[in-house]
Amino acid sequence: MGNRPPVPYVPPTDLLQTKESSEVLKVKLSDGTVFSMGIFAKGTPEDYLQHIIAVLRLIDQKGLHAQCKKHAKEMKTTAATLIAIKRKSTGSQSENSDESPEDLELERKLTQELLSTASKQYNEAVGATYELLRNLLAGEPQTQWDRIVREMHERGSWAGADGERHNGKRPKGFKAFMDCLELHKLTVFTADAAERQRYYVQQGIRKPQRATVRQFISRVEVLNGYLKYLPTLKDSPKAVTTTKKGNIPFEEADLASIMLAALPLTWQNQYNLTHSTVPESPRALLADLENIERVMLERYGEKQRSKDKVTTARPEKGKPKRGASAEGLTIRVPKKARTEKFCQRCKTHGGSHLTHNTNDCRRYDKDGKPLGQYGSKPSEKHKPYKKHGGDKGLAYMTSMLEAIQKGQKKSAKNKKRKKRSYSSSSDSDSE
DSSP symbols for 104-123? HHHHHHHHHHHHHHHHHHHH
pLDDT of 190: 92
Average per-residue pLDDT in the chain? 81
**Over residues 255-283, mean pLDDT:** 90
**Over residues 417-431, mean pLDDT:** 55
pLDDT of 262: 92
Residue 113 lies in a domain: yes
Q: Is pLDDT larger for residue 419 or for residue 398?
A: 398
Measured distance CA(52)–CA(141) in Å, rounded: 11
Same domain, 211 and 190: no
Residue 8 lies in a domain: no
pLDDT of 222: 94
pLDDT of 252: 93
**Over residues 87-92, mean pLDDT:** 68
- Beta-strand relationship, 157-159 and 34-38: unpaired
Residue 404 lies in a domain: no
- Beta-strand relationship, 24-28 and 34-38: antiparallel
**Over residues 142-171, mean pLDDT:** 90
Residue 176 lies in a domain: yes
Count how many domains the chain has: 3
Q: Which domain holds residue 158?
A: 15-199
The 10s digit of each residue's pLDDT in 7-60 is 998 877 654 455 555 688 888 887 778 888 889 998 899 999 999 999 999 999
Which runs of consecutive H residues, i.e. helices, occur in 171-247?
Answer: 174-185, 193-199, 213-225
pLDDT of 199: 93
**Over residues 340-364, mean pLDDT:** 85
pLDDT of 15: 46
Same domain, 49 and 96: yes
Same domain, 171 and 264: no
Residue 382 has pLDDT above 60, yes or no: no
Same domain, 68 and 183: yes
Q: Which of 139, 170, 199 is the last residue of a domain?
A: 199
pLDDT of 206: 92
Residue 69 lies in a domain: yes
Same domain, 210 and 277: yes
Q: In whole angstroms, how far apart are CA 57 and each of 132, 133, 223? A: 12, 11, 18
Same domain, 68 and 193: yes
Residue 332 lies in a domain: no
pLDDT of 94: 45
Same domain, 173 and 236: no
Same domain, 85 and 144: yes
Residue 395 lies in a domain: no
Query: Could you tell me which residues come within 8 angstroms of residue 12 by beta carbon, excluding any fewer than 6 positions away?
Result: 44
Residue 408 lies in a domain: no
Same domain, 184 and 215: no
Same domain, 205 and 67: no
pLDDT of 394: 74
Residue 186 has pLDDT above 90, yes or no: yes
Q: Which of 183, 199, 215 is the last residue of a domain?
A: 199
HSE of 351 in the Cβ direction (CA atoms, 13 Å)? Answer: 21
Q: Which of 176, 199, 222 is the last residue of a domain?
A: 199
pLDDT of 216: 93
Same domain, 253 and 303: yes
Which of 53-67, 92-106, 387-401 reaches the highest mean pLDDT? 53-67
Same domain, 68 and 123: yes
pLDDT of 430: 46
Residue 103 has pLDDT above 80, yes or no: no
